[in-house]
Structure formats: structure tokens, C-alpha cells
A and B are shown apart, each in its own frame.
Chain A
Amino acid sequence: KKYVLVIHGGAGTITKENMTPEKEKAYKDKLTEALKAGYAEIQKGKTSVDAVQSAIVVMENSPLFNAGKGAVFTHEGRNELDASVMYGKNKSAGAVAGVHTIKNPIKAAIAVMQKSEHVMLSGKGAEEFAKEQKLEIVDPKYFWTQDRWNGLQKALEKEKLKKAISQNKKSDYLEIDQKFG
């Protein structure tokens, strides 16, 4: 078989036990939608950059994945996004890091790659650049989802408990298993 597009939506402690059939179907449907979106670009004769953008935008716009809408929260309760892209033909590359208002960070990474002399822009500057490039800017509230908010509250609780235990000089056995992107 000759593959033309491969995608991922994150890795971690994903097992049958912590998945409902409905949720599993939703993930599979969204991954299929992303593959079809990227494949359509290739079929139209567009570049692999277009195919990657289309596939990733589908996942960024879905609350199922930790990117774009559905991104996890920082300690301060903000959604902070990063993205990057590299084009193999000429090894051009672009990235944005620590942005809060760019609806589709992958588009910003592509804009950095194609429309600037830089490789990585971060924070407010990256957001200003995206605005100049006429990319869609959204209120940070757009990225807020209940599931991810609950995830942060759980992590904060665990952290509090861990701190309390360690202050009591007891074992430091509680792990925070929220390290995944």
C-alpha cells in the first residue's frame, strides 16, 4: 500500500476500560474526517502543506483533542497553544508558541514558514503577526471546554494534596498523570 497521509490525535493512557463506545465512535469519526479533509487536498493536486493544514484544522476545531478548541488548561486557567510545520522539499519551517487567541495555530505556523524570515514566533508577537496575516483571531473563551476545565481542577486538587502530604513529611507517592499533550 502507498499511504499519502498519516495523522495522530495524541497518545497516552487510552484503554478500552476508560472509553465508552460513543466516545470511541466520536474519535474514530473525527479522525476519519481529518483524513478525508487532507486527502481531498492531495486529490485536488494541492501541496502536502495544504493537506497537513486541512487535516489538522479538523482536529483543532474539535473539542475531542488537546489542540485548538479542547486544549487543556495551564495552572493559571488559560489555554496556551503551540504549533509547528516543516516542508521537506526545501526544509522551510514555521512555528508559534504560547499563543492564546489564534483560532487555528497550525495556520499561524504555516504563515510563519511562508510569509516571514523566521522559524518560531511566540506569545503576543506571534498573535500580532497572525492578525497581520488576516488569520482568524478569537476570544480566548472560544477554547474553554468543561471537560478540560474539570481536568485542571482535578490536577490542582492532586497538587494540593501532594503538597500537604509532603509538608507532613510523608511519602511522596501521589503522581500527577497529566503530563500528556
Chain B
Amino acid sequence: TVGAVALDREGNITAGTSTGGMTNKRWNRIGDSPVIGAGTYANAQVGISGTGWGEFFIRSTAARTVAAKMEYQHKDVKTATQEVIAEIGKMGGDGGLIALDKNGNIAMEMNTAGMYRGAITDKGEIEVEIYK
């Protein structure tokens, strides 16, 4: 699975996710990636894209829950994302989430050994990481 969240010069956020699903899947199984609110979500405040065990991301409405924690509980993007990944972990699921808020703060959280991830600042500074 791959994903991206961007913040443009007008201050608008977009989140997107694309995947090939799961090896050896059957019965036209679909995971969280194309499900709005589970694998992908964006509003005026934050955008989120997820990767991981799709069934758990769907059941926890992962991406929307990050946004809801920010909207209703006034949590920052990092705390909100960490909490959702922790909740998925408690359910027995695993994976990761990336998020970007309207002020240019990011979160790249996972409960797996690693996640291919990267970010770029408004000045063009690039950060790329793989391992936890």
C-alpha cells in the first residue's frame, strides 16, 4: 500500500491511498485502502492515510478517528495518530498511519517493525525513513 497527504498553498489538505491488497486474498476481499474514513480521510484540519491489516482499520474507522480526536478532543496530530495505532494494536491489528495537519505538523506512527515513509517541508527539506 502507498499513500500521501499534501497541504497546498491555499491551506487545503488532500489524502490519498492506493494498494494491491493482500497476497493470496480471495472472494474479492477489499481492505481499508478504498474505504473513506478507514484508510483515507481528510477535512479542513487534517488528512490521513493508512497501511496495514485492513480489517482492523475498517473496524476502527482509523483515519476518521484520528480526525475526530483532533476535532472533538482537541488532541494534536501526533497524539491522535498514536492513540489510534495503539487502539488497533489492542484489537490485534497492526500497521501504520501518516497524517498532516493544516499547520504543517506531521505524524508517522506504526506498531510494526517498519514503515516506508517520507516527508518534505515547505523549504524542500526531505526526510525519508524505513525502520521503526
Mark A residues whose CB is within 8 Å of B: 1-16, 19, 24, 27-28, 31-32, 34-36, 38-39, 41-42, 45-49, 51-53, 55-56, 59-60, 65-68, 70-76, 79-89, 91, 93, 95-98, 105-106, 109-110, 119-120, 122-123, 143, 148, 151-152, 155-156, 159, 176, 178-181
Contacts and interface: CB of A to CB of B under 8 A. Distances in A.
B27 to A, nearest CB: 9
A31 B20 contact: no
A179 B22 contact: yes
The 3 A-B residue pairs with the shortest CB-CB distance, nearest first, are A71-B20, A14-B114, A2-B104
Given A3-B100, A39-B120, A72-B23, 14 more contacts: A3-B105, A5-B4, A15-B113, A31-B117, A67-B18, A74-B21, A79-B20, A82-B18, A85-B40, A97-B30, A106-B16, A109-B18, A120-B34, A181-B51
A84 to B, nearest CB: 4
Contact of A82 (B33, B49, B53, B112): B33
Most buried by A among B5, B34, B104, B106: B34
Most buried by A among B7, B41, B43: B7
A84 B28 contact: no
A39 B124 CA distance: 7
Contacts of B115: 8-12, 14
Contact of B118 (A34, A45, A84, A85): A34
Contacts of A4: 6-8, 100, 104, 120-122
Given A52-B14, A74-B26, A89-B12, A12 B128 contact: no
Given A15-B113, A48-B12, A109-B34, A10 B51 contact: yes
Interface residues on chain B, size class: 35 or more
B73 interface: no
Nearest to A82: B34
Nearest to A89: B12
A47 B23 contact: no
B9 interface: yes
A176 B24 CA distance: 10
B88 to A, nearest CB: 11
A148 B52 CA distance: 18
B30 A82 contact: yes
Given A7-B118, A155-B23, A88 B13 contact: yes
A4 to B, nearest CB: 5
